[in-house]
Structure 1
Amino acid sequence: MDGLEGSPVGVQVPLYQAKAEFFRMLGHPVRIRVLELLADGPTPVRQLLAAIEVEPSNLSQQLAVLRRSGIVTATRDGSTVVYALAGGDVAELMRAARRILTEMLTGREELLAELREAEASSALPR
């Protein structure tokens, strides 16, 4: 198998399928939180654990997925394991996701305000 689950070595995967696998791999809240924290710089596992507040086994499992995908790297400093983003593009992706969500939620707030305004005006006696 190559880096994509279900794809035998040597089989060319269409780019759209590779992107879908990439986003599926990101599709876990703990993984996203780890990537957000690592955008600030290399972080020891104990700090990640304190910031995310999940069971150590769950964090370990999610870190392993990120490590296998090549998105994060792990280095050992004595008994401490420190994780870091493998490249700056992931940090930029997290910032882009935040911008997109902000735009989406802003649009919803504006729509909600319009709906409330329409509801209020229709409730007025005529």
Structure 2
Amino acid sequence: MNLELQQFKADFFKALAHPLRIRILELLAEGDKNVNELQTIIGAEGSAVSQQLSVLRSKNIVYGTKEGNRVLYSLRDPMIIDLLSIARQIFNNHLIDTISMLDKFKDSDSKDLEEEV
């Protein structure tokens, strides 16, 4: 069971491991959209958006509902919104750490220059 869960997690994160798929999920977190809407917002070719939606659909991360001649895409689980938010917080924490580290280097370089003068 534990191995199955780990495999599920690995497959799930592999499905998320593409910048365009992440962007699609961020947009779907704001509300359901069809391919044309996603294309317009992202500025990508329809085939690229459709291809990434296909990956997300195959991993049961999004689903499509037929509305006339269009398919409206939705997040299968609203917790994806929380996951994306947490990922952004982790990114921001790393960014803050990196900026802090750069500031320390800048300060030590300034002191080194002052000592040389």
TM-score normalised by L of structure 2: 0.91
CA–CA distance in structure 2, aligned partners of residues 123 and 17 of structure 1: 53
Letter matched to residue 82 of structure 1: L
Q: Which residue of 1 aligns with 2:73?
A: 83
Q: 1:35 aligns with which of 25, 39, 60?
A: 25
* Aligned twin of 1:98: 88
Distance in 2 (alpha carbons) for counterparts of 1:18 and 1:44: 27
Confirm or deny: 8 A CA contact 2:36 2:46 kept in the other structure. no
In 2: Cα distance, 1:77 partner to 1:65 partner: 21
Q: TM-score, normalised by structure 1?
A: 0.85
1:13 Cα deviation from its structure 2 partner: 4.3
2:106 pairs with 1:116: yes
* Partner-residue secondary structure (3-state), 2:71: strand
Task: Read off the aligned partner of 1:101 and give its amino acid letter.
Answer: F
* Unmatched 5+ stretches in structure 2: none
Say whether 1:22 aligns with 2:8.
no
Q: What residue is the counterpart of 1:5 in the other structure?
A: none
**Is the partner of 1:125 in helix, strand or coil?**
helix
Q: Give the match for residue 55 of structure 2.
A: 65
Match of 1:50 in 2: 40
Q: How many residues align?
A: 115
